[in-house]
Amino acid sequence: MRLVSFGDPGHERPGVVVGNEILDIAESRPGWPASWRRILMENLWPEVESMVAGAGKGGDLPSVPLGSVRLGAPIPDPSKIVAIGLNYRDHAEEQNKQPPEVPLLFSKAPSCLIGPNDPIVLPADEVENQVDAEAELCVVIGTRAKNVRREDAISHVLGYTAFNDVSGRAAQYGDRQWFRGKSFDTFGPCGPWIVTKEALGDPSGLSLESYWGDTRMQAGNTSNLIHDVPALIAYVSKQMTLEPGDLIATGTPSGVGVFREPKVFLQRGTTVRIRLEKVGELINLVL
Ligand code: MN
């Protein structure tokens, strides 16, 4: 199943992609909350599954054409975005750092999230003038997870999506920590949809690429994650409760702009594409 949130910014509604249509979940179930996060929190997910299973069998659910609406971030309002630093060996090597023995956690403000075709808006040059992009596999949590074991971790996953951990390097390295550089408005392109874990299968072995215009910047594979998805969920859930809808951005492979010689940063007018196998593409114009 592919899950989207569609509509105007701040007013997205949950939907399920079926063919070239989006089933409008909130319209189909009056009284339900109009957000994936709250549907998950209220344990309505099994009803979504049966609703969608029935949709192809003479069901008559309200829908809109996929191409006719704006897609937002699939979870526009998570309680948190947990991001992982230095989680690909090649990315640690390109900055001459030892891979961390336990996952290195940092946070991005949920307010940075944008949809899969929304523009990335560069801050004024005097605020941040070294903006970079990072292609990432993003895990979406489906059920509350606290102190879970590695072998139980995937049972808490709803699915997977693509993420661009847009990063202001001047702020990231100029400050003593990363929160500001990682959290400028629009620095969290996500989507285009969540592919449920049943549909996607094993999240290791997925190719993960980024392009700036026609230039391929990153060509990685999730099989090279140092701490894999079950390990990340187990570790994070020992530090803090993972809530339904929370996002874990699992880290980026080598090839980012700041570690190139010479360094390169995003320019206005460039289109950034993040391509994740079995999920799809994020395509965001830099303004
Ligand atoms: Mn990152």
Mean predicted confidence (pLDDT) in 32-38: 96
Q: What percent of the chain has pLDDT over 90?
A: 92
Q: State the pLDDT confidence band at 213, using cuts at 50, 70 and 90.
A: very high
pLDDT digits (tens, 9 = 90+) for 220-260: 999 999 999 999 999 999 999 999 999 999 999 999 999 99
Pick from 262, 223, 259: nearest CA to 96: 259
**Region class of 37: left (phi > 0), else alpha (psi between -120 and 50), else beta:** alpha
Give the C-alpha separation, 116 to 107, whole Å. 20
The reported pLDDT for the residue numbered 53 is: 87
The answer, yes or no, to whether residue 56 has pLDDT greater than 70, is no
60 CA to middle of ligand 1, Å? 42
135-141 and 247-249 strand pairing: antiparallel
Q: How far apart are the CA of 149 and the centre of ligand 1, in A?
A: 24
Length of the chain: 287
Q: How far apart are CA 248 and CA 141, in angstroms?
A: 8
**Do 235 and 100 form a contact (C-beta atoms < 8 A)?**
no
At 58, is the pLDDT very low, low, confident or very high (cuts 50, 70, 90)?
Answer: low
For residue 79, how far is its CA from the centre of ligand 1 (angstroms)? Answer: 19
- What does the mean pLDDT of the chain come to? 96
Q: For the residues 1-25, what does the mean pLDDT come to?
A: 96
215 has pLDDT over 70? yes
Q: Tell me what pLDDT residue 60 has.
A: 75
Q: Residue 90 — very low, low, confident or very high, per pLDDT cuts 50/70/90?
A: confident
pLDDT at 59: 61
Segment among 5-19, 57-71, 107-121 with least mean pLDDT = 57-71
Percent of all residues in the chain with a pLDDT value above 70, rounded to a whole number: 99
Centre of ligand 1 from the C-alpha of residue 66, in Å: 29
